[in-house]
Amino acid sequence: EDQVTQSPEALRLQEGESSSLNCSYTVSGLRGLFWYRQDPGKGPEFLFTLYSAGEEKEKERLKATLTKKESFLHITAPKPEDSATYLCAVQAASSNTGKLIFGQGTTLQVKP
Tell me: does residue 78 bind another protein (CB under 8 A).
Answer: no
Q: Smallest gap, in angstroms, from Cβ of residue 69 to another protein?
A: 19
Q: What distance in Å separates the CA atoms of residue 91 and residue 62, rounded to the nearest whole number?
A: 21
Cα→Cα distances 39→16, 18, 85, 87, Å: 20, 20, 6, 11
The single residue among 23, 65, 105, 108 that binds another protein, judged by CB under 8 A, is 105
Only segment of 12-20, 63-71, 76-84, 94-102 that touches another protein (CB under 8 A): 94-102
Q: What distance in Å separates the CA atoms of residue 37 and residue 48, rounded to the nearest whole number?
A: 10
The 48-77 site mask, x for binding another protein (CB under 8 A), equals: -x-x--------------------------
